[in-house]
Chains A and B, each alone.
Chain A
Amino acid sequence: MIELLRPSKAALAVIRVLGIGGAGANALDRLLLDGMSGAELHAVNTDIQSLTASVATGKLQIGRSTTRGLGTGGDPELGYQAAEEGAEELRALLQGASMVFLLVGLGGGTGSGAAPLIANFAREQDALVVVFATLPFHFEGRRRMAQAEEALAALQQQADVVVCFENDRMGEAVSPRAPIHEAFAAADQTISQSVRAVSTLVNQRGLIHLGLDELTRTLRAQNARCIFGFGEASGDNRAHEALARALKSPLMDRGRLLGETASVLVNIAGGEDMTLNEVQILMEELGRHIGDDTRIHFGCAVDPQLGAKMRVTVLSAIDASAQLATAPKPTLAVVDAEPEPVITFVETDEAVTALLPAAELAAELAAQSPAAAAQLARRTEAAAAARAAREAKQEQMQFEPVTRGRFEKSEPTIVDGEDLDVPTFLRRNMKVR
């Protein structure tokens, strides 16, 4: 479908993956070890030592005269200069790519400085740019965090999609007793999984296809915190297990955050024996974690290579500020008019043509958004306030018939006006599933 819509980007076969800086190279190595097919992998760094250690097939040293083969020492300015110096080589590297993945650890010099510029080069080649960025740990200091955030903002300007991982949250994902290298490996693994998932998502033709437009729409919100889950399972109960694994992924927060997002992208892939029933089970289970208002972009593909396995990818973004989180909503409301291709298992021309105007409309609105931003913000603010009021009321409604369980008929234990027989978590309005 996408191929028809975007003839210029039809040839999605040419994917280049660039690991920029030390952290980027680590993630790239991981990706290579996990086996990434159908893409060229290049490590780009100022530090010759780090480049030598990398197992990537393609290696490019930038800023030969700027840093003379050393690192940037955490200075993004040097990183930027290095990228400028290596502009020719970088352009040559990106030549002919239709899709570019940039893996970068923000906060340092090379990653923060060079990545926005490289993203710009990739754009010049008319390639789609997807950035996978990690933010530094909090303990690395405010300065580093500020550098990272600046670079992130610059990347969001240049790239089509920015998937952002917070290292702090990676730490939460592994047990507190896990050795440090395991924690870092977990971070790299998450990035590697998401790169592969996104590339398959966009490249693979599915029964119900998900394309880059859904991806960008899901992850568009600025300052977005990415929620990513990936799970693979086989066996009788594979639908349930794959989802359980996906929800256990780092950044997923056990699916808890999913309830707060505006839209979620779900892609299910399975071997040829995957049944509709399994897909239903999986989606129903996932539905429990997702709020009623959330828009679900659902994709489904059969990949004979998977054999008896089933694979689920859940992607979403949650915004730090409430306004930004609700901002894309009106746009989505327009897109809601789009006929549900979800149910059309057979791709028809009608579906494609019907999709076209909706997609155009969405693109137009996105282009206009800076101008209409103020209006949108005002409208969404009011809507958010109304929703908040409604939610608060709902909560009260929920807790009005207080439940005391087995103490229903016994003399209440009342201290300071509180009926202590009612479960504490209910009185504290805590969410329990």
Chain B
Amino acid sequence: MARDNIFVGLEIGTYKICVAVGESRADGTVKILGVGEAPSRGVRKGEIVNFETAGKCIREALVDAEEKSDVMIGSVYLAVTGSHIEGFNNRGAISIPEDREEICEEDFEEVQANAREVSIPQPNMFVHSILQHYYVDGQDGVLNPIGMLGRRLEADFHIIHGVGNRIKNSVRCVKEVGPEVLDVVFAPLATAQVVLDHNQKGLGALVVDIGGGTTDFIVYTDGAVKLCGCVGLGGDHITNDISLGLSIPMNKAERIKCEDGSAMLGICRPGEMILLKDETGFAGREIERDMLHTIIHCRVREMFEMLRRKLDEAGCAVHLLAAGMMLTGGCSMIHGIRDLAEEIFGIPVHVTHAQAVVGNVSAFENPQFSTAIGLIKYAQAMQPEAPRGVLRRLWKKFPFLGFW
């Protein structure tokens, strides 16, 4: 059995399944012991569509991680995503009972329950409710009200919810393979824990994780989650576009996307060709590089423009995000994507991977692993014995795990 301070993050992606094993250290850092991965099958747009094959792939990834980290995996933190997951902001308010003046811990629970008293669609369940700010007697910007005197306590929460059965399905799939699921975490929330530091969250930042099947995003302002969501578009779509546009098989499309693709136009010579060598079952082809770039550019531009629209509609002033935009996930490795993002969002864009962790450096210096590693950081912050830091204060979870 794993030691108490070892956490495992499991992300079931569309392109691959990723398991990160990390050790929480007393000084608050996380040491990565190993990262296991396996190509994913039976997953589309971040959600499991084939239970059996997905289960097999999860097992492969877990075994790989156990071998690499030399840790028996008994329980995991699971990242969930999918376009059904949504977030909104809501304020809870309670009056402090007449017989006491001091705000105490149970008031906090109460105000959170109050904030949750909103209607969400019937099949949905709450995934997170993340604290943003307190107001004591209307006074703004209170970081920790416990111990303060007041009559009325209000709190803004960011509430994330999704279709219950779909989330439970992911959990069941993992449980059938073996390990216990300690908690489910909305993927961008986990990602943000490792790509943003405390400072950046305070300045305001946008994290965009473009994975295989989905693009997850989260916005931090004033140190709190302001907005998050998921769009069912990702690298798979780019590959699919290339495959359809150039009439080549998916695996070839995937390869030229990674090796020769670019999201920027006008960087190749006119008429420059890419040669696809012939192999068994595939006659060689020459492909116009400019065409490839155009297909990728159209798709990525559309994705970014849609995201930009979403943010604008939600009233998020993108230009005020002082720390800029963090681009991560497998697709952030596409050439030229940073420049395109900068063009569309008009803020500095950084292609980044998990920061603020120690250990096997080469293993986590890959934007594909951001979420899995983020889960460990999340788990560390959630531990009751951990110092009551900013992270701990920022989200308080509803104990919904009793549901299954």
Give A residues with C-beta under 8 Å from B: 172-173, 175, 244, 247-248, 253-254, 403-407, 410-411, 413, 415, 420-421, 423-426, 428, 430, 432-433
Having A248-B270, A432-B294, one finds 7 other A-B pairs with CB under 8 Å, namely A406-B243, A407-B45, A413-B45, A421-B237, A425-B299, A428-B298, A432-B291
| Contact of B270 with A254 in the complex, beta carbons under 8 Å | yes
A248 vs B240: C-alpha distance in the bound complex, in angstroms? 29
**Cβ-defined partner of B295 (8 Å) among A254, A404, A421, A432:** A432
Is B142 an interface position by the 8 A CB rule? Answer: no
Can you report 12 residue pairs joining A to B where beta carbons are below 8 Å apart?
A248-B270, A248-B271, A253-B270, A405-B243, A406-B236, A407-B236, A410-B45, A423-B240, A424-B298, A426-B245, A430-B298, A433-B288
Residues of B in contact, count (CB < 8 Å)? 30
Residues of A within 8 A of B291 (CB): 432-433
| Contact of B294 with A430 in the complex, beta carbons under 8 Å | yes
A404 vs B243: C-alpha distance in the bound complex, in angstroms? 11
Residues of A within 8 A of B143 (CB): none
| Contact of B236 with A425 in the complex, beta carbons under 8 Å | no
Residues of A within 8 A of B273 (CB): 244
B236 to chain A, nearest CB (A): 7
Is B302 an interface position by the 8 A CB rule? Answer: yes
Residues of A within 8 A of B306 (CB): 415, 420
A32 vs B298: C-alpha distance in the bound complex, in angstroms? 46
Residues of A within 8 A of B241 (CB): 405, 423-425
| Contact of A420 with B237 in the complex, beta carbons under 8 Å | yes
Is B83 an interface position by the 8 A CB rule? Answer: yes
Give B residues with C-beta under 8 Å from A: 44-45, 49, 83, 231-233, 236-237, 240-241, 243-246, 250, 269-271, 273, 288, 290-291, 294-295, 298-299, 301-302, 306
A415 to chain B, nearest CB (A): 6
| Contact of B244 with A403 in the complex, beta carbons under 8 Å | yes
Which residue on chain B has the smallest CB distance to residue A404? B240
| Contact of A425 with B237 in the complex, beta carbons under 8 Å | no
Residues of B within 8 A of A405 (CB): 240-241, 243-244
A428 vs B305: C-alpha distance in the bound complex, in angstroms? 14
| Contact of A424 with B299 in the complex, beta carbons under 8 Å | yes
A367 to chain B, nearest CB (A): 40
A426 vs B241: C-alpha distance in the bound complex, in angstroms? 9
| Contact of A423 with B245 in the complex, beta carbons under 8 Å | yes
A433 vs B45: C-alpha distance in the bound complex, in angstroms? 28
A428 to chain B, nearest CB (A): 6
Residues of A within 8 A of B246 (CB): 432
A424 to chain B, nearest CB (A): 4
Which residue on chain A has the smallest CB distance to residue B266? A176
Residues of B within 8 A of A423 (CB): 237, 240-241, 244-245, 295, 298-299
| Contact of A247 with B250 in the complex, beta carbons under 8 Å | no
A288 vs B179: C-alpha distance in the bound complex, in angstroms? 57
Residues of A within 8 A of B301 (CB): 424
Which residue on chain B has the smallest CB distance to residue A249? B271
A363 vs B205: C-alpha distance in the bound complex, in angstroms? 72
A337 vs B273: C-alpha distance in the bound complex, in angstroms? 40
| Contact of A410 with B49 in the complex, beta carbons under 8 Å | yes
| Contact of B298 with A247 in the complex, beta carbons under 8 Å | no
Residues of B within 8 A of A425 (CB): 241, 245, 294-295, 298-299
Residues of B within 8 A of A173 (CB): 270
Which residue on chain B has the smallest CB distance to residue A415? B306
| Contact of A172 with B270 in the complex, beta carbons under 8 Å | yes
A404 vs B244: C-alpha distance in the bound complex, in angstroms? 9
Residues of A within 8 A of B231 (CB): 413, 415
Which residue on chain A has the smallest CB distance to residue B271? A248
Residues of B within 8 A of A424 (CB): 241, 295, 298-299, 301-302
Q: Closest 8 interchain pairs by CB?
A: A413-B232, A423-B241, A424-B298, A248-B271, A405-B240, A410-B44, A432-B245, A424-B299
Residues of A within 8 A of B302 (CB): 420, 424
A399 vs B295: C-alpha distance in the bound complex, in angstroms? 17
A421 vs B243: C-alpha distance in the bound complex, in angstroms? 13
Q: A248-B270, A405-B244, A407-B240 are in contact. Are A413 and B295 (CB under 8 A)?
A: no
| Contact of B233 with A407 in the complex, beta carbons under 8 Å | no
A421 vs B231: C-alpha distance in the bound complex, in angstroms? 12
Residues of B within 8 A of A413 (CB): 45, 83, 231-233
User: Residue among A248, A405, A407, A424 with the most chain B CB within 10 A?
Assistant: A424
Q: A254-B270, A410-B44 are in contact. Are A426 and B288 (CB under 8 A)?
A: no
| Contact of A406 with B250 in the complex, beta carbons under 8 Å | yes
B231 to chain A, nearest CB (A): 7
B245 to chain A, nearest CB (A): 5
| Contact of B83 with A426 in the complex, beta carbons under 8 Å | no
Which residue on chain A has the smallest CB distance to residue B253? A405
Which residue on chain A has the smallest CB distance to residue B291? A432
Which residue on chain B has the smallest CB distance to residue A248? B271
Residues of B within 8 A of A421 (CB): 237, 240
Which residue on chain B has the smallest CB distance to residue A423? B241
Residues of B within 8 A of A415 (CB): 231, 306
Which residue on chain A has the smallest CB distance to residue B84? A411
A175 vs B272: C-alpha distance in the bound complex, in angstroms? 11
